[in-house]
Structures are given as C-alpha cells and as structure tokens.
Structure 1
Amino acid sequence: MAHLYFKYGTMNSGKSIEIIKVAHNYEEQGKRVLLFTPAIDTRIGANLVGSRTGLTRPAIPVEAGTDLFELVRREQSGSGQRISCVLVDEAQFLNKRQVLELTWIVDELDIPVMAFGLKNDFRNELFEGSYNLLVNADKIEEIKTICWHCDRKATMVVRSIDGVPVNEGDQIMIGGNDDYKPVCRSCYRKTFQGGL
C-alpha cells in the first residue's frame, strides 16, 4: 500500500540531498521515479534539483496550474514502465489542489509520494503546501539540523535582506545561505529583540 510522506526541515537540513539520494536508490535498482521541482526556484538552474553539496539532477518543473495527478497518470500509462515513486522538492510551494492531487496519486494509482520542503516561513507561518501536507500526509518526518547561532535544533528560519534580519514581507522570496539562516526558537526571538 502506497503512502504520502511529508519530510520537512528548515533551510540547510539536507532535504535536497535526501531527495537526490532517494531517487538514486530507486534508479540503482532499475525502478522509475518522477522528480518534481517548483518552476520558480531556479537557484541551481531551470528544471533541476540541487543541494548545497553540489549534487544536482533533472526534474520536472511545477507551475501553479500544473496538474500533478494527470501528469503522473499520463507518464504511467504512456511509458510502459511502472513509476515506483514520485518525489517532490520544495513542496511548500504547492497549492492545496496540488497536495490533493498527490493524495490521488497515492490512493488511485498506488504510487508512493515523498514530498520534501519547509514547514514554516521566515515569519514562522505555515506555507500553503506545508499546511496541506501536514493535514493530508500519511507519514510526517522531520529532517533535523542545528541552529546557526547555538547548538540547539533549528526549527525556524530568519530571512535577511542586505544583511539585516526581517520578519515582514512577501512569503516567497527564493534565496540561499545569504538570505536565510536556520535557527532555534530562542535565537529567532533574540534576533528580533536585538539579542543577536
């Protein structure tokens, strides 16, 4: 029986390297995977999933209007080779309908889906995709990393613009280590109280 997995973590927790590893493990056994990534994230390049370690692999771009269920159904019926797993990078950028489509892939096509992404944004609010994955996933797992400032587990993210931490602005701003830092709750609070 297939399941929908949501594997979440803060920035720098290794989500992208984990998704590349999972894809490799399936393919090494001759099994087919479909790997999706948001079209808006072109930090590594268009249509690529990439980790900070330098590993990359091609992926299918997902726009707000992409119908994931139909895309996977067509791939499954047209290729002649069973799809063993669907992998989604940066799943926080999915909309509610797309998360429901992931559940249909699991329930109707019997294909496991692993979605990797952030849970909360720099304002410590849930993304639409993350909220709906937390509601609909069969299994939820945290990918852990440490706080940028201390040795506690990071659970939040601080966004900086021109080196200055901010907690207001548009929810989505694609960026890397210069723009976002993983932090614990205590260091998040101290950042905006002038303690860091």
Structure 2
Amino acid sequence: MAKLYFNYAAMNAGKSTALLQASFNYRERGMRTIEFTAKLDNRTEEGVIASRIGLRRHAHLFDSATNLFDVVKQETQDTKAACVFLDEAQFLSAEQVRQLSQIVDRLNIPVICYGLRTDFRGDLFEGSASLFALADEIRELKTICKCGRKATMNLRIDPQGNAVRVGEKIDIGGNDKYVPLCRKHFFDALEKD
C-alpha cells in the first residue's frame, strides 16, 4: 500500500542527498521514479536536484500553479512509476499537499517528500504544516548545531554573520545565508544586540 512520507530537517542535514540516494535505489532495480523540485530554488541549475556532496538529478519543476496530481497522472499513463520524490517540500501549497495525497490514494504510488520544517523565524512553512497534517509517515533527518546538539532551527544571517530578524519568508540561499542551530542558540542569536 502506497504512503505519503515527509522527511524534514534543518538546513544541511542531507535531505537532497537522501532523496537522490533513495531514488537511485529504485532506478538501480529497474524501477521508474519521478522527481520534483521547486522552481524558485535557483541555487543550482534549473530543474536539477543537487546535494552539497555533488549528487545531481534532473527533475520536474513545480511552482504555485503546478497541479502535481495531473503531472504524475499524465507521466504514468503509459509507464507506471514506482515512486515520486519531491525536494524542497516546504514550498508546496496546502492544495499541492492534497494533490500528493491523491497520487498516493488514487494512483497507488508512494510519494516521498523532503523539506524544511520552519523558516528563519521559527514558523512552519505552509507545505510543511500540511505535510505534518496529511503524511502517513513523518521522519526527522538530523544535523548538528555548533554546540553539538541536534539542530532544529534555521538562522538567517547577513553577510557579516549577524542574525536577520525581519524579511521575506522565503529567501533562497545556502551556507551563505543560513546556519542550522539548536533552539537555544537560535533564540540566543535572535536576542543578541
């Protein structure tokens, strides 16, 4: 029976690496996979899921107008897919998460999503909140804070390394803009003058 999975973590926990490895495992066994990544994530080549350790794979792009159910239904008319993988799941809308659940329930294809839990203010992303509500299985991938504890928060920093407290919810970046921290160090950084 197919399920909807949500794998979440702070920045730099290896979410894209885990996605690419899992997708490779299916394909190595001769099974077809379909991958998606957010169009607004422009850190690498458009339409590519890329990990910090160098793994890469072309993927379908999604934005707020993409009907994921329709894309997968069309893609699987002639050849069934064994699994759908979605990177940057935090950028999904609530409606798109419902579409993913329809892929699972109506097309009987497992969907495995990877994304951030919270933004730089500690607030849930819409896609993540919806996945917490609808996913059949939720898994936390772990990374560490500078103190060695589990990092659960994403601190946005300016070019000088100072905490950013205000701004747009979405500001695409990597190590140049975000630092994974434990809750204590996250709030310490926000309270610092």
Q: TM-score, length-normalised on structure 1?
A: 0.96
Distance 2:170 2:191 in 1: 24
Residue 41 of structure 1 corresponds to which residue in structure 2? Answer: 41
Corresponding residue of 1:150: 147
Q: What corresponds to 1:71 in structure 2?
A: 71
CA RMSD for the aligned pairs? 1.0
What is the match of residue 159 of structure 2? 162
Cα offset, 1:81, TM superposition: 2.0
Amino acid in structure 1 at the alignment position of 2:153: M
Distance 2:187 2:108 in 1: 43
1:23-172 equivalent positions in 2, closer than 5 A: 23-77=23-77, 80-147=78-145, 149-163=146-160, 164-172=162-170
Q: How does 1:164-183 map to 2 (within 5 A)?
A: 164-183=162-181
User: What letter corresponds to residue 50 of structure 2 in structure 1?
Assistant: G
SS of the equivalent of 1:117 reads strand
Structure 1 segments, 4+ long, off by >6 Å, are: none
Q: CA deviation at 1:100?
A: 0.3
> Partners in 2 of 1:56 and 1:64 — Cα distance?
24
Deviations 1:108-152, CA, capped at 9 Å, x for gaps: 0000000000000110000000000000000000000100x2010
Aligned partners of 1:193, 1:73: CA distance in 2, in Å? 48
Distance 1:109 1:193 in 2: 48
Gaps of 5+ in 1: none
Determine helix, strand or coil for the equivalent of 2:170.
coil
Q: In the TM superposition, what whole-angstrom CA distance separates every residue of 1:8-33 from its partner, at most 9, and x where no partner exists?
A: 00000000000000110000000000
Aligned-partner Cα distance in 1 for 2:25–2:165: 39
Please list every run of 5 or more consecutive structure 2 residues that lacks an aligned counterpart in the other structure.
none
What letter is aligned with 1:17? T
Aligned twin of 1:186: 184
SS of the equivalent of 2:10 reads: coil
Q: Distance in 1 between matches of 2:68 and 2:191?
A: 43
Determine the C-alpha separation between the residues in 2 that align with 1:141 and 1:168: 29
2:19 corresponds to which residue? 19
Percent identity among equivalent residues? 45
Aligned residues: 192
Q: CA deviation at 1:189?
A: 1.4
Aligned letter for 2:187? R
Q: Any idea what the Cα deviations from partners look like across 1:35-57, whole Å, max 9, x if unmatched? A: 00001112111000001111111
